[in-house]
Amino acid sequence: MNKWEDNKAWFMVIPVFLVVAVSAILPLMTVVNYSLQDIFGPDQRVFVGLEWYKDALTDSRLHDALKRQLMFSSLVLLIEIPLGILIALMMPKKGWGASLSLVLVALPLLIPWNVIGTIWIIFMRPDIGLLGAAVNGLGIPFDHTASPFAAWVTVMLMEVWHWTPLVVLLAYAGLQAIPEAYFQAARIDGASAWSTFRYIQLPKMRGVLTIAVLLRFMDSFLIYAEPFVLTGGGPGNSTTFLSIYLVKLAVGQFDLGPAAAFSIIYFLIVLLFCWLFYQVLLKVGTGDKP
Amino acid sequence: MALIDLKNLAHSYLSKPTAETDYALQKMDHVWEDGNAYALLGPSGCGKTTLLNIISGLLQPSEGQVLFDGKDVTGLLPQERNIAQVFQFPVIYDTMSVYDNLAFPLRNRKLPEADIKERVKEVADMLELNDVLHKRAANLSADAKQKISLGRGLVRSDVAAILFDEPLTVIDPHLKLLLRRKLKQIHARFKLTMVYVTHDQLEALTFADQVVVMNQGQVMQIGTPQELFENPQHTFVGYFIGSPGMNFLPCRMENGIAHIGDQEILVGNGTERLTGSFKLGIRPDFLKLHSQAVQGAIPVTVKAVEDLGNCTIVTVALAAQTLKVKLSEEEDIPAESGFLEFQRQWIRIYSDEKLVGNGVKQQARLEPAK
Amino acid sequence: MALVIENVTKLVEKDCHINDISLQLEPGTFNVLLGRTLSGKTTLMRLMAGLDKPTKGRILMNGQDLTGVSVRERDVAMVYQQFINYPSMTVYKNIASPLRLAKVAKAEIDRKVRDVAEMLRIEKLLDRMPAELSGGQQQRTAIARALVKDAELLLLDEPLVNLDYKLREELRAEMHEIFKRRNSIVVYATTEPPEALALGGNTAVLYEGRLEQFGPTVDVYQHPQSTRIAQAFSDPAMNFVAGSVDATNLRLGDAMPSALEQHLNGLKPGKYQFGMRANHLQLQSRTATDIEFQANIDLAEISGSETFVHVTHNGAAWTVQQQGIHQYQIDEQIKVYVNQARLYVFDLDGHLVASPDNASRQLT
């Protein structure tokens, strides 16, 4: 057998390697390089070893941002996944109703992220915003620029409104893929709606829900544009999530070394959580005992 | 257990059917006896699955009624009809153990756990699922999964009928035999009314006491495998059952003699009353081919020889017609022309595709073709 | 000018799919690859087509080594189990497609398409789309497309397996005619012994990637060189019973000893395995010399015109093929008969020692 024939395939994947190298690996290496130096100007830098990492890991503002971030992402998953499944279950399965509801559900996904922030700023304004004014009109003081609680509620609302549709679409696709025979068998076995959901629909949706959880976790963990536009991380630091803090550090204070070290840590945290989720979700529902 | 009564039943998937062809199921009126095994057999699109779904309650018939033991169940949902169904692809509850799968229908009906345990054990014994009872059902092979789906029907003591929709499609060929045997044994033991849909004649004829042959939404004949083979009531049944199917020759009947071209075949047996144009039907198994002239045999030319090992299928031409002749391994095959002998007691006469002559009261048993 | 396969081995990962096969196929011949699923039929066809490369060995077409020649540059046509047609083209265009690609003149294309369509009895369907056809008609279209270009190598991989039995019966009967008088090397893979027999030509029996026997189909059927070949080339599978022969007598299973006759005369005394085809087992004794066994009925399977009685004798599972429809009870005790003249004799390693004389079947 010809060696050349055997190895020809490798040449085919070279373009992909190049793209990945330029787009991911090279910048990452630059960041690793920066994270080990103290940078004063284009030609003025000092090698400082792991100092920035030590600083970052002991930085209480980073800890706070991480706690906030975990809180935020947990809330996102706890709300969006069940809500998404619920909406998917309620959607019509066929006919024009199915197409129409799909289009309606998908609408928020079609709007650019920064526009979403602007929409919600206007929507929530206590003086002229539809929701903001309505809530204040009921006598409940609500101003996301003044109260941390109101800021959180606003960011959560916006996030849920924007991204639950993605979960809905995934869950809906998962539900549509279940053969009709399962539902017929369940009816014949006398299963209640809850049993049908618990023993047929939920297990059969496991694959798509795994993807939904991973996507939503990663995206929410990396959230930047919407809170930046809406609250700018405030009031105070109450909505300063990891990415906002990172940008404040890197761009605002122009301290590239610590920002680079922070980025690497951030990256590792995301990777770790994704791996954990993946492992757990993979085991649920397979094997005799998970 | 139940007697199933199909009263003036018809179904169309269209909201306002007008022509006969709008009906997926043509009007029918049948009584299916309690404790019998019925197979619905026919080519794809013949309406057999539609009929099964009407019996199970998954589909509402557009006309007529379904009665179980005299009680009208037409408007009832599947869960209200006390039926069980086994589908083409095994339906099991992935996250449950085999035991929990079998117990599921009983738990839904709020039976005490002690009773459930007893029923599940009995059924698991019968289906030879004891060794895997506490394994997760999702990890089992297709045949074990199909047994579980069957088991979920058998555990219920109130089950009126068990319905099967091509249940062996995904089973390995060498395991099919074992499952067919198991089904026969279960039927013999529980005497449940069973209805089995398939397009495979071997499966239908092996499984059923009574085979319902369907074509284009119509029931062509209900009968035992032997009746279908010996006395097809319709030319479709003759064609569809048996391989190769029955030969049909347009002929002119006169005084009990069939005239085909300028050849004459003596039919007799009460066909003397028939005069005019008919079709003569005879199975390839009941034709003999001689190389020398024999009393009553007709000269034919050999067109093709298909040696299948166990038997040989010879295509012969008679006047403008061709016929298939099935010969056993011992029989010699004339090279170019020969003499075709019709075994008289197996000749059937058809008019307008329906059996009209001979064999209607046929009592003779089929002897192995020599 | 032939297709020559020289000591070809094909490994996939570490599994051996084809194990040292050598085979020579001549133009104008019909060749059946017979074997169970996973016996290597499809792999061998892919190698012949040039879709895969052998791990070891060479494949030569007309003396030219095929290694490194792209399948597109070769003159090969293939028909698959699935009905593969271009869904957006009419039947006519589907059949014409190989000729259009070969830039054949319009009039010539028209003539060839109509000829082949007539042979496959789809001449009235030429304007239809594949989706409007039945499975049988779709497969006829696929076969027509493969035939139309007169490729030097025509490969058919279980083309009838996805058709229901009536359509399979019809197409099987026509196959022989369709492939007659062709200059191509036709290779046809199947698991079904009756298909191989109906098609005739030569048969190569494959078992776990090895070529077990190659020869004229009828010869292979009548003289299977091993128990494995006999199993693969019998439908239902051949039945076996252990037995022994001494100077004058034959003992089979727990049956009464009987005097040696005909082709069994002259067997060396010793232990053998005896093979019996399902249609040679009887439930009624026909002659006084028939050997009688006790058996227990497992199940009687009924096809339209035959009954397959599955029985157990001394732990061995047998199938008795009976003409006509007969009902039996499960676990009924019955007697099964076989005539000595029908016995295949294999040694304990499974090699053929003696087979029945095949004088019984002759064209007169």
| Residue that finishes a domain, picked among B230, B260, B275 | B230
In this structure, the answer to whether residues B209 and B261 fall within a common structural domain is no
DSSP-derived secondary structure letter, C265: T
In this structure, the answer to whether residues B221 and B90 fall within a common structural domain is yes
User: What does the H/E/C string look like for chain B?
Assistant: CCCEEEEEEEEECCCCCCCHHHEEEEEEEEEECCCCEEEEECCCCCCHHHHHHHHHCCCCCCEEEEEECCEECCCCCHHHCCEEEECCCCCCCCCCEHHHHHHHHHHHCCCCHHHHHHHHHHHHHHHCCHHHCCCEHHHCCHHHHHHHHHHHHHCCCCCCEEEEECCCCCCCHHHHHHHHHHHHHHHHHHCCEEEEEECCHHHHHHHCCEEEEEECCEEEEEECHHHHHHCCCEHHHHHHCCCCCCEEEEEEEECCEEEECCEEEECCCCHHHCCEEEEEEECHHHEEEECCCCCCCEEEEEEEEEECCCEEEEEEEECCEEEEEEEECCCCECCCEEEEEECHHHCEEEECCEEEECCCCCCCCCCCCC
B45 inside 8 A of chain C by CB: no
Q: Do B104 and A191 touch (CB under 8 A)?
A: yes
Is residue B182 situated within a structural domain? yes
Kindly tell me if the per-residue pLDDT of B215 is higher than 70.
yes
Amino acid identity at C289: T
- C-alpha radius of gyration, chain B, whole number: 25
In this structure, the answer to whether residues B299 and B342 fall within a common structural domain is yes
Kindly tell me if the per-residue pLDDT of B365 is higher than 60.
no
Residue-wise pLDDT for C158-167, tens only, equals 988 888 788 8
Q: Do B91 and A188 touch (CB under 8 A)?
A: no
CB B298 within 8 A of CB B318: yes
In this structure, the answer to whether residues C185 and C97 fall within a common structural domain is no
Report the residue of chain A nearest C69, measured CA to CA: A5
Q: Do A5 and C55 touch (CB under 8 A)?
A: no
Is residue A35 situated within a structural domain? no
B273: tokens are 């009353």
In this structure, the answer to whether residues C159 and C183 fall within a common structural domain is yes
Give the gap in angstroms from C-alpha B107 to the nearest C-alpha of chain A: 9
Best C222, C305, C325, C364 member to test B by mutation, with max B CBs in 10 Å, is: C305
The distance of Cα C149 from the centroid of its chain, to the nearest Å, equals: 26
Report the residue of chain C nearest A2, measured CA to CA: C68
Query: Residue C347, SS3?
Result: coil
Kindly tell me if the per-residue pLDDT of C72 is higher than 80.
no
| Residue that finishes a domain, picked among C96, C118, C141 | C141
Q: How far is residue C28's CA from residue A225's CA, in Å, rounded to a whole number?
A: 72
CB B150 within 8 A of CB B86: yes
DSSP-derived secondary structure letter, C341: G
Q: How many helices (H) and strands (E) does chain A have?
A: 15, 2
Backbone angles phi, psi at A191, to 5 degrees: -70, 140
In this structure, the answer to whether residues B215 and B253 fall within a common structural domain is no
Q: Which domain holds residue B154?
A: 4-230
**If you search the block for the tokens 């879709």, which residue do you land on?**
C51
Considering only CB atoms, C363 lies closest to which of B184, B243, B333, namely: B333
Give the gap in angstroms from C-alpha A191 to the nearest C-alpha of chain B: 6
Q: How far is residue C134's CA from residue C140's CA, in Å, rounded to a whole number?
A: 10
Q: How far is residue A183's CA from residue B93's CA, in Å, rounded to a whole number?
A: 11
In this structure, the answer to whether residues C46 and C128 fall within a common structural domain is no
Neighbours of chain A (3+ CB pairs under 8 A): B, C
In this structure, the answer to whether residues C227 and C313 fall within a common structural domain is no
Backbone angles phi, psi at A131, to 5 degrees: -80, -45
In this structure, the answer to whether residues C170 and C50 fall within a common structural domain is yes
Give the gap in angstroms from C-alpha A93 to the nearest C-alpha of chain C: 26
In this structure, the answer to whether residues C24 and C64 fall within a common structural domain is yes
Mean pLDDT estimate for chain B: 88
Spatial neighbors of B132 by CB under 8 A, at least 6 apart, are B98, B140, B144
Is residue C206 situated within a structural domain? yes
In this structure, the answer to whether residues B130 and B211 fall within a common structural domain is yes
Is residue A13 situated within a structural domain? no
Is residue A217 situated within a structural domain? yes
CATH code, domain with C307: 2.40.50.140
How many angstroms separate the most distant Cα atoms in chain A?
Answer: 82
Buried (b) or exposed (e) across A13-42, using 16+ Cβ within 10 A?
eeeeeeeeeeeeeeeeeebeebbbbbbeee
Is residue C193 situated within a structural domain? yes
Q: Do B139 and A200 touch (CB under 8 A)?
A: no
Is residue C362 situated within a structural domain? no
Q: What is the mean pLDDT of residues B35-63?
A: 90
Q: Which domain holds residue C66?
A: 3-75+151-232
What pLDDT shows up at residue C214?
95
Is residue A99 situated within a structural domain? yes
| Residue that finishes a domain, picked among B199, B230, B261 | B230
CATH code, domain with A131: 1.10.3720.10
Report residues of chain A scoring pLDDT below 50: 1-3, 285-290
Q: Which domain holds residue A133?
A: 60-283
CATH code, domain with B326: 2.40.50.140
A290 inside 8 A of chain B by CB: no
In this structure, the answer to whether residues B15 and B67 fall within a common structural domain is yes
In this structure, the answer to whether residues B276 and B199 fall within a common structural domain is no
What pLDDT shows up at residue B367?
39
Is residue C83 situated within a structural domain? no
User: C-chain residues within 8 Å CB-CB of A3?
Assistant: none
DSSP-derived secondary structure letter, A22: I
Is residue C58 situated within a structural domain? yes
Is residue A10 situated within a structural domain? no
Size of interface A-C (CB pairs under 8 A): 7
Q: Kindly report the length of chain A.
A: 290
Is residue B240 situated within a structural domain? no
Residue-wise pLDDT for C81-120, tens only, equals 888 889 889 999 999 999 988 888 999 999 999 989 988 8
A32: tokens are 């690793």
Least confident of B43-47, C25-29, C145-149, C322-326: B43-47
Instruction: Work out how many domains chain C is built from and give that number.
Output: 3
CB B339 within 8 A of CB B291: yes
Considering only CB atoms, B368 lies closest to which of C300, C322, C363, namely: C322
Give the gap in angstroms from C-alpha C191 to the nearest C-alpha of chain B: 12
What pLDDT shows up at residue B39?
94
Q: How far is residue C234's CA from residue C194's CA, in Å, rounded to a whole number?
A: 8
Give the gap in angstroms from C-alpha C87 to the nearest C-alpha of chain B: 21
Burial of A78 (0-12, 13-18, 19+ CB in 10 A): exposed
Amino acid identity at A268: L
Beta carbons within 10 angstroms of residue A173's beta carbon: 12
What pLDDT shows up at residue A252?
66
What pLDDT shows up at residue B286?
93
Is residue C71 situated within a structural domain? yes
pLDDT tier for residue B159 given thresholds of 50, 70 and 90: confident
In this structure, the answer to whether residues B212 and B259 fall within a common structural domain is no
Give the gap in angstroms from C-alpha C23 to the nearest C-alpha of chain B: 25
CB A31 within 8 A of CB A53: no
CATH code, domain with C227: 3.40.50.300
Instruction: Work out how many domains chain B is built from and give that number.
Output: 2
Best C12, C52, C53 member to test A by mutation, with max A CBs in 10 Å, is: C53
Q: Do B105 and A288 touch (CB under 8 A)?
A: no
Considering only CB atoms, B87 lies closest to which of A181, A191, A200, namely: A181
Is residue B91 situated within a structural domain? yes
A283 inside 8 A of chain B by CB: no
Question: What DSSP element (H or E) covers C320?
Answer: strand C316-323
Residue-wise pLDDT for B223-272, tens only, equals 999 999 999 999 999 999 988 899 999 999 988 889 998 888 888 878 88
Considering only CB atoms, B152 lies closest to which of A189, A204, A288, namely: A189
In this structure, the answer to whether residues B296 and B341 fall within a common structural domain is yes
Q: How far is residue B339's CA from residue C127's CA, in Å, rounded to a whole number?
A: 43
Work out the percent of chain B whose per-residue pLDDT is above 70.
96
Q: Do B304 and C301 touch (CB under 8 A)?
A: no
pLDDT tier for residue B157 given thresholds of 50, 70 and 90: confident
Shortest CA distance to B334 belongs to which of B300, B286, B285? B300
Q: How far is residue B32's CA from residue A203's CA, in Å, rounded to a whole number?
A: 39
Q: What is the mean pLDDT of residues C124-131?
A: 90
C327 inside 8 A of chain B by CB: yes
Q: How far is residue C199's CA from residue B317's CA, in Å, rounded to a whole number?
A: 21
CB C323 within 8 A of CB C333: no
Is residue B352 situated within a structural domain? yes
Interface subset of C 65-84, CB within 8 angstroms of B:
none
Q: How far is residue C128's CA from residue C352's CA, in Å, rounded to a whole number?
A: 52
Q: Do B334 and C218 touch (CB under 8 A)?
A: no
Backbone angles phi, psi at C261, to 5 degrees: -130, 165
Least confident of A232-246, C206-220, C307-321: A232-246
Is residue C36 situated within a structural domain? yes
A237: tokens are 């630091």
Instruction: Work out how many domains chain A is built from and give that number.
Output: 1
Residue-wise pLDDT for C281-306, tens only, equals 999 888 888 899 999 999 999 988 89
Is residue A23 situated within a structural domain? no
B172 inside 8 A of chain C by CB: no
- C-alpha radius of gyration, chain C, whole number: 24
B169 inside 8 A of chain A by CB: no
| Residue that finishes a domain, picked among C178, C205, C232 | C232
Neighbours of chain B (3+ CB pairs under 8 A): A, C
CATH code, domain with B51: 3.40.50.300
User: In sequence order, what are the beta bridge partners of B264?
Assistant: B259
In this structure, the answer to whether residues C54 and C125 fall within a common structural domain is no
DSSP-derived secondary structure letter, C10: E
In this structure, the answer to whether residues B182 and B207 fall within a common structural domain is yes
C212: tokens are 């077990």
Beta carbons within 10 angstroms of residue B71's beta carbon: 12
User: B-chain residues within 8 Å CB-CB of C194?
Assistant: 308-310
In this structure, the answer to whether residues C11 and C97 fall within a common structural domain is no
| Residue that finishes a domain, picked among B205, B230, B255 | B230
Is residue C101 situated within a structural domain? yes
Kindly tell me if the per-residue pLDDT of B366 is higher than 80.
no
Give the gap in angstroms from C-alpha A177 to the nearest C-alpha of chain B: 14
Is residue A26 situated within a structural domain? no
What pLDDT shows up at residue A7?
64
